[in-house]
Amino acid sequence: MKRFLSFFFLFSVFQFSGLLMVARAAADVNLAGEWQFQIDREGKGEAEEWYKPGKRLNDRIVLPASMPQRLKGDDISVNTKWVGSLYDSSYFFNPYMAKYRKPGTDMKLQFFLTPDKHYVGKAWYKKRFMLAKGKEKQQYEIFFERPHIVSKVWVNGHLLGEAENSLSVPHRFYFDSSLLNEDGNNEIAVCIDNDPETVKVGQDSHSVTDQTQGDWNGIVGDMKIRSCSCIREVKVYPDVDNKKARVHLVLNGGLEKKGKVTLTLKAAAFNTSRDHEVSAKPVVVTLNPQTTDEFDITLDMGDGMLLWDEFHPQLYALSIEAKTAKHTYTHQTQFGMRKMEIRGKMFYINGREVILRGTVENCDFPNTGYPPMDLASWTQLFETCKAYGLNHMRFHTYCPPEAAFLAADIVGFYLQPEGPSWPNHGVKLDP
């Protein structure tokens, strides 16, 4: 079982998480910046229709950020209800710790991050945005890279669906231009609930515990509204033995009435001194306008194929163009060519034996309380690990953001992401 799980984690890494990104439109509406804000301790905001346009909230906050990062919430005290187990109660009675129990700047705890503010419950965020309605009906996606924990979204007072509750992947909400106002002046309302009971991931899971990441309320990372693309999902499956890469495409036929799409694929090495470019002949496919359709296109990598491993992390930038009668959609991602095997008790990459030399990462980022969302920070972290002779990192009961996967691709580093739960405490997980 252990060997199978290890294989699963490594296999997940080599699927390259970045491949699941939705193509980004040129006319993105950036939602970063100042938002209206209000804490909802009693959970009455929805009943009182705080989501309605014109209903003003009583505070302001700059996003992306967490509430404690922006000093929103309650002051820390000995009565703060932390999320996590207390393994040492001496803090509350040890005379030496008396000075650290006093409210104010000296308040410190030896077993938690001790942010300046702490809050568990619902909080509301509202913001005006400009987006023209247009003559043709257009579909849009609201993309929040990492809310914490449950999110619920309204546009111009219309609920876009049930709350999302993922701690590992972006939250996405969809709407069409019929919800937009004629003058292009619109409003989005978001309710975030960080009550750990909404997900029940178990005691001390590093996705929520105040011992490490913290149970913060907020939204971090990329946050925007963008036009939907007919390229809904892309995955690349390398076949080193046959010098081919199978590109699996999921296309959204609902955006194109006539359904004819011409697909053009090109890949080029980008992070190595060796040049290598490949392409596939344009393929014309017919979409069902009522569903999503899946297609496979093969890239012949040829004799010049470059391989990925931790010593030579050579990558290809893949560009995909989907052209219809009226629109052209594009998508960019990266992939590496590698062959993974298990022989006996050992892992092999491209025929080379791999010894995992790793460390554990518990989501310990005390400056923010949450993991970095940018490529540069993760690249620096993995390069530092490699300088110490490491090639592997386990993420204890949480999954890092996409930037970590992209950095690992580039640096040449193995990742062991985990689900956001620590079930060995006996928790019975919800579906």
Q: Where are the alpha helices (DSSP H) in 358-413?
A: 375-387, 402-411
Q: Where are the domains of the chain?
A: 2-16+341-425, 18-23+230-339, 29-227
pLDDT of residue 271: 94
pLDDT of residue 425: 65
pLDDT of residue 10: 43
C-alpha dihedral (156, 162, 163, 166), degrees to nearest 10: -130
**Pairing of the two strands 260-269 and 277-286:** antiparallel
Angle (nearest 5°) at CA 354 between 353 and 355 = 125
Structural tokens at position 107 = 């308040």
Q: For residue 301, which of 241, 234, 233, 231 has the smallest C-alpha distance?
A: 241
Q: What does residue 122 show for φ and ψ, rounded to 5 degrees?
A: -90, 145
Place of tokens 């590496």: 336
Residues across the chain: 431
pTM: 0.90
46 CB neighbour count, 10 Å cutoff:
16
Q: What does residue 403 show for φ and ψ, rounded to 5 degrees?
A: -55, -35
Sign of CA dihedral 173, 175, 179, 182: positive
Strand partners of residue 59: 37
Fold classification of 18-23+230-339 is Immunoglobulin-like (2.60.40)
Residues of the chain with pLDDT under 50: 1-26
pLDDT of residue 102: 84
300 half-sphere exposure, CB direction, 13 A CA radius: 4
Fold classification of 29-227 is Jelly Rolls (2.60.120)
pLDDT of residue 53: 96
DSSP label at residue 21 = P
pLDDT of residue 134: 84
pLDDT of residue 431: 57
